[in-house]
Structure 1
């Protein structure tokens, strides 16, 4: 199952617009118990096709597996409660409605395409699905008091990528460390930092390293932490997460996969208007409306910055953007060294492997090392003696593992060619030109 998920994940990374692949990946993730990743993949599908019935059905399953997990409709559109049954219900025969509650359950089941049990039917633990409920006051207070982690890693722990570190220092870290000097040069300390680049390039690790550099706590937010089935609760979740980060300042609030949480509002159709409220709330929190964001450093990461709502990219919000490219040769050596640590090896030439793995992401390199180790392990099991991983194992692994960044790079070429009128992706264009993706 895990190998299949890895293979389809790589295929999706190569072709992000392949919605059937994303749906299949989401199904596998749900079956494997990884509902958070499934929600993220399904959000990408719904952002591109808000009326996609299968994606909506899987989203309900990922969020809780029942009708209650469907984003609730406004009260004016909801079926009347039992004590408010319309007069026409009285004329409905017993075959059409539940007489004790005045609700036509068969009709409702057909309309929403899920099974709705009448109230108080005594569902067993084996059949009852979890219903995500609004957070009560005591639970919210407990979550607010829970301190986020304090990372111990810094940028020194990030192998290679010196150009990325230099850009982070100039755009973000140096002004934060020297607020008085920044103020003298009228350098605003407001706003957030957006890391973008191909999947698997270590954007989350870099965000943790930034928190370590600032000596700040680190709170990660994914789409699964935000979405809730009840009207208004998703927006409240965004508000609570920002409140928690402010309470434990200095704190880095890291929004992972920003395009899933803050996608373009114009892309959400009438059946997903509730997602627009999440983006609106996010904008309010970034602007610090009703609160102060002193000591709150907002970072985000995305593989598809072109899918992020334009309002989030304006000054005072995510106005500092840093491209995180696939690891350079120095970084590839360090990643491979770490991936092989603790495994029996013999005659491994890391420099040669790094030279052969150009354009591999960090995740690709981990997969390459794991595949090579599996070759040695298979032989060891067959012989009954441990055989170390050798260069021959890597030769075999290279025939199976290819860089997953190619599809992303092609999409990026289209973006800088046709959608870079404002110069937002100049850094990306320079990288693509340097790597000969653009001639």
Structure 2
């Protein structure tokens, strides 16, 4: 390790030879290794002016961002490379660290394991432990039955709370009453024969923040959070998908109080009448059986949340009392919520004086994912300006407003057209009454 006097000599050499790329890169790497993160960031920026597409320098800058907690900036620097096949594995590990910092455990795990698979030497024991990503056992040969295996579900504490969710007060209140209060005030609810547990189905247009809400509910409660994707359940071997579901629920019961979250649940809970394969119907049957539990106390303390963009495709049996008996519509953010989301997205970035309300007015029908995409694009443009200028160039209201002219809402209008058909022509049960005011308001 170079001591401070050696670093000072390198700093002076870089000052005298500002166009010496190997010298600047060497200095930046040493500063990063010794924890001088802000100074390392500056040296990497200066080096990128000399070599704008250098993957090693970009990776160093992204690592400096990530270690300072600027996870969005790290991902913005890495994304042009991550979109290309064969990107350096080190970038995948840095991206995993940034994604984990943003709370996206599933994508973080994917990036980390994909990188380590290509280059085992890139493994980071501390990061792997934080990810706690499960690894499936190899399937058995096809000439014999598959052996059941124990797959440990990753139950993590969520650092996100309702304070990190902009707007949606009605949705938060519904989750408090259904999921949080029975656990926080068990004596009061026990007096009325109510126990902690049960299920809520969140539905709405894509990108509206359903997954974020589920993490926030777990963080608000201080409970373990288990996020379940299709790959965690579905298996090519007959009977294995049902065993996977059973193992997931068993792990959640052992971790109670626990929020068990199923994303894109319509793929696991589709209407059985629409299914042509018998084993697909068995997965739905197993899901229903796990929601019921072996007795009326089996799922006590397990709060089951599910999210879908297409609730009308879910088997009606899931809406029976005791299962997903409460449907909660997660609407696109209104004007005030969009402004609040923009404030959250921009809070760790260099800013000029911002008029978030003006940007919110220009982003009607945007969901949270659209707003994040808008800010990310603006940040990418500012990073290019900053690299050329050799200093951070702050983000302005004008930057965001300019991008709204070319970026359109990704999903709300299409989703609304589909939802209107169900509300107007397939709502005999009244299941979609909650959508009526919103649809009428949008006309």
TM-score interval for Structure 1 and Structure 2 normalised by the shorter chain? 0.5 to 0.7
1:307 maps to which of 309, 313, 333: 313
Q: Distance in 2 between matches of 1:218 and 1:347?
A: 37
Q: How does 1:322-401 map to 2 (within 5 A)?
A: 322-381=328-387, 386-401=392-407
Distance 1:395-1:211 versus aligned 2 partners, 3 A rule: closer
1:278 counterpart residue number? 283
CA distance in 2 between partners of 1:294 and 1:171 (Å) = 13
Unaligned runs of 5+ in 2: 1-82, 88-135, 141-145
Conserved 8 A contact 2:198-2:302: no
Q: 1:293 to 1:32 in 2, by over 3 A?
A: farther
| Alpha-carbon distance, 1:184 to partner | 3.5
Residue of structure 1 in register with 2:163 after alignment: 156
Paired residue for 2:52?
none
Distance 2:422 2:390 in 1: 53
Q: Pairwise mapping of residues 136-155 of structure 1 onto structure 2 (< 5 A)?
A: 140=150, 143-144=151-152, 148-155=155-162
Q: 1:342 to 1:30 in 2, by over 3 A?
A: closer
**Are residues 424 and 183 of structure 1, via their aligned partners in 2, closer, same or farther at CA, if it must alter by over 3 Å?**
farther
CA distance in 2, matches of 1:349, 1:398: 14
TM-score between the two structures when normalised by the length of structure 2 = 0.63
Q: 1:382 to 1:309 in 2, by over 3 A?
A: same
Separation (CA, whole Å) in 2 of partners of 1:379 and 1:31: 26
1:338-367 deviation per Cα after TM superposition (whole angstroms, max 9, x unaligned) = 322333332321121122222210000001
The answer to whether residue 224 in structure 2 is matched with residue 217 in structure 1 is: yes
CA distance in 2 between counterparts of 1:191 and 1:400 reads 43
Is the CA contact (8 Å cut-off) linking 1:132 and 1:228 kept in structure 2? no
Residue 64 of structure 2 aligns with which residue? none
Matches within 5 A, 1:60-209: 133=139, 140=150, 143-144=151-152, 148-187=155-194, 189=196, 191-209=198-216
Cα separation, 2, equivalents of 1:179 and 1:32: 53
Task: Determine if contact 2:224/2:257 at 8 Å carries over to the other structure.
Answer: yes
1:369-404 CA-to-partner distances (Å, cap 9, x unmatched) read 122223334444566665332233223211221112
Cα distance per residue 1:140-159 (max 9 Å; x no partner): 1xx34x66101132222212
Q: Is the 8 A contact 1:368 1:398 kept in 2?
A: yes
- Alpha-carbon distance in structure 1 between the residues aligned to 2:160 and 2:425: 39
**Aligned counterparts of 1:228 and 1:323: Cα–Cα separation in 2:** 31
Among candidates 211, 221, 235, match of residue 242 of structure 2: 235
**Bigger mean CA offset, 183-192 vs 353-362:** 183-192
Residue by residue, what CA displacement relative to the aligned partner does 1:172-209 show, whole Å, maximum 9, x if unpaired?
33334333333434556553111111111111111111
- In structure 2, C-alpha distance between the alignment counterparts of 1:311 and 1:178, rounded to whole Å: 30
State the match for 1:288 in structure 2. Answer: 293
Compute the TM-score of the two structures, normalised by the length of structure 1.
0.64
Cα distance change, pair 162–384 in 1 and its aligned pair in 2 (3 A):
same
Q: Would the aligned equivalents of 1:250 and 1:296 in 2 still touch at CA under 8 Å?
A: yes
Work out whether 1:254 is the aligned partner of 2:239.
Answer: no
- Specify whether residues 32 and 331 from structure 1 end up closer, same or farther in structure 2 by C-alpha distance, changes over 3 A only: farther
Say which of 227, 230, 233 aligns to 1:226.
Answer: 233
Is 1:420 the counterpart of 2:423? The answer is no
User: What's the CA shift string for 1:9-28, capped at 9, x where partnerless?
Assistant: xxxxxxxxxxxxxxxxxxxx
Q: Which consecutive residues of structure 1, in runs of 5 or more, have no partner in the other structure?
A: 1-28, 34-129
What RMSD over aligned residues (CA atoms) do the two structures have, in Å?
A: 2.8
CA contact (8 A) 1:254 1:299 kept: yes
Cα 1:383–1:249 change in 2 (3 A) is closer
Q: CA deviation at 1:337?
A: 2.1
Cα distance in 1 for residues equivalent to 2:364 and 2:243: 44
Shift of 1:323: 0.8
Asked whether the equivalents of residues 132 and 229 of structure 1 are also in contact (C-alpha less than 8 Å), the reply is no
Change (3 A) 1:248 1:30: farther
Number of residue pairs matched? Answer: 307
Local SS of the residue matching 2:305:
strand
Mark the CA change 1:214 to 1:381 in structure 2 (over 3 Å): closer, same or farther.
closer
